[in-house]
Structure 1
Amino acid sequence: MVKIKDLTVDDLEYLIEQKVLEILGDPDSGLELKDEFKAELRERLKNSSKRISHQEVVKRVG
């Protein structure tokens, strides 16, 4: 068994996140997207100039 002192910060954060998800679950699990929303997403994806990368989101949000 791994001891906490041997974990990296990332490993510990991951374990905590997994435990929270296990306890609380995903409130959106089993829900379906409405057709109107799917169509809107498809339209947005066609305009690549408005897309931002994951790295940019992380920079902006932290």
Structure 2
Amino acid sequence: MQVKDLTTEELKALIRETVMETLEELLDDPDEGKEVRPEIKQQLLESLQRTRSGERGIPAEDVAKRLGLTW
């Protein structure tokens, strides 16, 4: 069957299905099912605690500057 032979509703359904498949591919988590190493988990917990206590991280502008990016 060719696209020209589809009804408007069939074409819409085909487009909807294609968009959904594309979104699923783009939003798929490549790390799903993997475990976080204990040292990384500890670093994340420490970072979260620092944030909760009011400590601020490195401003994005500084990071961009360090990487030679225009912000």
Structure of higher RCO (CA pairs closer than 8 Å, 6+ residues apart): 1
Structure exhibiting the larger radius of gyration computed from Cα positions? 2
TM-score range relative to shorter protein: 0.3 to 0.5
Q: Structure 1-normalised TM-score?
A: 0.41
Higher helix share: 1
